[in-house]
Amino acid sequence: MNDRTCIMEEKDKEYIWHPFTQMREWVADTPLIIESGKGSYLIDTQGRRYIDGFSSVWVNIHGHRKKAIDKAITEQLKRIAHSTLLGLSNIPSILLAEKLIRVAHNSGLFSLSKVFYSDNGSTAVEAGLKMAFQYWQLKGGRYREKTKFLTLENAYHGDTIGSVSLGGIDLFHKLYKPLLFETIKVPSPNCYRCPIDKNHPDCNLACIREAEKVLKRHHHETAAFVIEPLIQAAAGMIVSPPGYLSQISSLCKQYNVLLIADEVATGFGRTGRMFACEHEDVTPDIMAIAKGITGGYLPLAATLVTEDIYNAFLGEYKEFKTFFHGHSYTGNPLGCAAAIANIDIFEKENVLHHVRVKSSLLEKLLRQLKDHPHVGDIRQKGLMAGIELVKDKSSKAPYPLEDKAGYRVCLEARNMGLILRPIGNVIILIPPLNISSAILKKMVAIIAAAIETVTGNGFQQ
Ligand SMILES: *Cc1c(COP(=O)(O)O)cnc(C)c1O
């Protein structure tokens, strides 16, 4: 190990508290310190190269050091790094807002017409939920009763208190319960572990009937249904069955409940369309986007809303209908410049076509893992995929969390030059969208070998 790596490792352990990390284990381990990146690769302080199999936590889109984005940021840097949207405006945020609405319209999301900026996925969701709440308050009368939110079991919408309230992953969320507002839960459309014990497709989407029961009972007090469209990603890439999203959307319309689509993970091409909602011709009332918006370069997020929502907030100043919400770095010009370049690349390089080609290749590659005795389920939409490891395939019995099966597979993969981050027993694959066929093949080969190594020794059958 070179000297600098040693020094950095020491300082890391001295000063940093890592997110979602048991720090006692961290300090006992040898951390990987990333120094640079190029295309689909990350390079550490010792010059070792790794495939970035999780797009640097689901954000990277066109690979690292993408020329056009590098250039957009450096050009913007010559003008100004940051100015705010609180009382002022700036050029990149104006041009990006126009572009985002145009992109939304090109995706069939015709009624989205206004852009509210923030700087990460959690805040984009928080802004959306406050907007939905305030919308009904401003409508007045009996609508003021509409104060609650419907969410899916196993939902994940971020780590701030509002978005944690919407969440349904016990490991992350349960402890904080006394701090959270209550939400009304709808069964997760989880076909591998169906919460209502049905089998898809024979079930005829029985989970929709469950959702309808909840809406029927609670619509009068419900502001919005918050959903991760098509994929509950942080729950372990739970892909909802075809038709689920569009039927939820219809029910929301029928029962006069707003639909908030959290496209933080799915947005910007991951599923093979620009936005996941597009697959089922669904237009939400509010849409949160973040992760991929800057191509994975800078923290930026946006909450897109319909004209109807926006209009409800209009009035004389003294009516105090204003949306009193905003973050210091709102509309950050560097982030917006990166986002504009990101979207331009989608158009210039036909990225969505590439994603569709690569996702059918990925599907083919993953099929080879299906019969492995410890692979319970493989779920995929576009270039988002999850491989669920099980202790027992026929009973679907999971490995106990403390066995850290997913973690051990990812550690093994890392030794073979691939960086992944698991969610429990699910191995998550989210490569950069422009990954080459050769690297994709290598990635799946490494995963197969890592699963074999881990499940073959140390785990009981
Ligand atoms: C990652 C994620 C968030 C939170 O985004 P942050 O930028 O990490 O705050 C919210 N919703 C979904 C669906 C996500 O995947």
Tens digit of pLDDT for each residue in 141-174? Answer: 999 999 999 999 999 999 999 999 999 888 877 8
**Secondary structure (DSSP) of 121-132:** HHHHHHHHHHHH
pTM of the model: 0.97
Please state, in angstroms and rounded to a whole number, the distance separating the CA atoms of residues 236 and 152.
14
- Give the strand order in the sheet containing 375-381: 375-381, 384-389, 426-429
Rounded to the nearest angstrom, the distance between the alpha carbon of 261 and the centre of ligand 1 is 12
For 205-221, b where at least 16 C-beta lie within 10 A, e where not — what string? bbbbebbbebbeebbee
- Name residue 458's amino acid: G
- Residue 143, sorted as left (phi over 0), alpha (psi -120 to 50) or beta, turns out to be alpha
Query: Hey, which residues does 185 pair with through a beta bridge?
Result: 151
Which tokens is 158 given? Answer: 């971020």
Closest residue CA from atom 6 of ligand 1: 121
Q: Map out the domains of the chain as residue ranges.
A: 32-65+350-455, 72-348
Local structure of residue 313 (DSSP, 8 states): T
Distances (CA, A) of 122 to 84, 361, 408: 20, 32, 29
Please state, in angstroms and rounded to a whole number, the distance separating the CA atoms of residues 153 and 114.
30
SS3 279: helix
Please state, in angstroms and rounded to a whole number, the distance separating the CA atoms of residues 271 and 385.
10
Tens digits of residue pLDDT in 362-404: 999 999 999 999 999 999 999 999 999 999 999 999 999 999 9
Please state, in angstroms and rounded to a whole number, the distance separating the CA atoms of residues 292 and 297.
8
- Residue 108, sorted as left (phi over 0), alpha (psi -120 to 50) or beta, turns out to be left
Atom of ligand 1 nearest to the CA of 160: 9
Rounded to the nearest angstrom, the distance between the alpha carbon of 314 and the centre of ligand 1 is 29
Confidence of residue 2 (pLDDT cuts 50, 70, 90): confident
- Name residue 155's amino acid: A
In the chain, count of helices (H) and strands (E)? 15, 16
Mutation to probe ligand 1, out of 125, 172, 287, 329 (largest number of atoms < 8 A from CB): 125
Please state, in angstroms and rounded to a whole number, the distance separating the CA atoms of residues 139 and 125.
21
Tens digits of residue pLDDT in 233-266: 999 999 999 999 999 999 999 999 999 999 999 9
Contact 385/379 with Cβ under 8 angstroms? yes
Phi, psi dihedrals of residue 51, rounded to the nearest 5°: -70, 130
Spatial CA neighbour of 149 closest among 253, 219, 230, 228:
219
Contact 162/129 with Cβ under 8 angstroms? yes
Confidence of residue 461 (pLDDT cuts 50, 70, 90): very low
Mutation to probe ligand 1, out of 232, 291, 297, 329 (largest number of atoms < 8 A from CB): 291
Atom of ligand 1 nearest to the CA of 158: 4
CATH topology (fold) of 72-348: Aspartate Aminotransferase; domain 2 (3.40.640)
Please state, in angstroms and rounded to a whole number, the distance separating the CA atoms of residues 229 and 123.
18
> Whose structure tokens read 């051990």?
408
The answer on pLDDT for 458 being more than 60 is no
Spatial CA neighbour of 169 closest among 375, 420, 424:
424
Spatial CA neighbour of 57 closest among 454, 360, 428:
428
Please state, in angstroms and rounded to a whole number, the distance separating the CA atoms of residues 185 and 188.
9
Rounded to the nearest angstrom, the distance between the alpha carbon of 166 and the centre of ligand 1 is 12
Contact 128/260 with Cβ under 8 angstroms? yes
Contact 327/299 with Cβ under 8 angstroms? no
Rounded to the nearest angstrom, the distance between the alpha carbon of 13 and the centre of ligand 1 is 26
Q: Looking at domain 32-65+350-455, what is its CATH homologous superfamily?
A: Aspartate Aminotransferase, domain 1 (3.90.1150.10)
Rounded to the nearest angstrom, the distance between the alpha carbon of 157 and the centre of ligand 1 is 6
Helix (H) or strand (E) holding 260: strand 258-262
Rounded to the nearest angstrom, the distance between the alpha carbon of 229 and the centre of ligand 1 is 13
The percent of residues in the chain predicted with pLDDT above 70, rounded, is 99
Q: What is the pLDDT of residue 459?
A: 52
Confidence of residue 55 (pLDDT cuts 50, 70, 90): very high
The percent of residues in the chain predicted with pLDDT above 90, rounded, is 96
Please state, in angstroms and rounded to a whole number, the distance separating the CA atoms of residues 227 and 155.
8
- Ligand 1 pocket, Cβ-based, cut-off 6 angstroms: 120-122, 125, 156-158, 228, 233-234, 262, 264-265, 290-291
Atom of ligand 1 nearest to the CA of 233: 15
Mean pLDDT, the chain, as a whole number? 96
Mutation to probe ligand 1, out of 122, 231, 232 (largest number of atoms < 8 A from CB): 122
Please state, in angstroms and rounded to a whole number, the distance separating the CA atoms of residues 119 and 199.
40
Please state, in angstroms and rounded to a whole number, the distance separating the CA atoms of residues 207 and 229.
15
Distances (CA, A) of 340 to 177, 300, 354, 459: 39, 12, 20, 48
Rounded to the nearest angstrom, the distance between the alpha carbon of 319 and the centre of ligand 1 is 34
The answer on pLDDT for 460 being more than 50 is no
Atom of ligand 1 nearest to the CA of 262: 13
Nearest-5° angle of CA 235, CA 239, CA 244?
Answer: 120
Mutation to probe ligand 1, out of 161, 264, 286, 426 (largest number of atoms < 8 A from CB): 264
Nearest-5° angle of CA 60, CA 65, CA 69?
Answer: 80
Tens digits of residue pLDDT in 277-310: 999 999 999 999 999 999 999 999 999 999 999 9
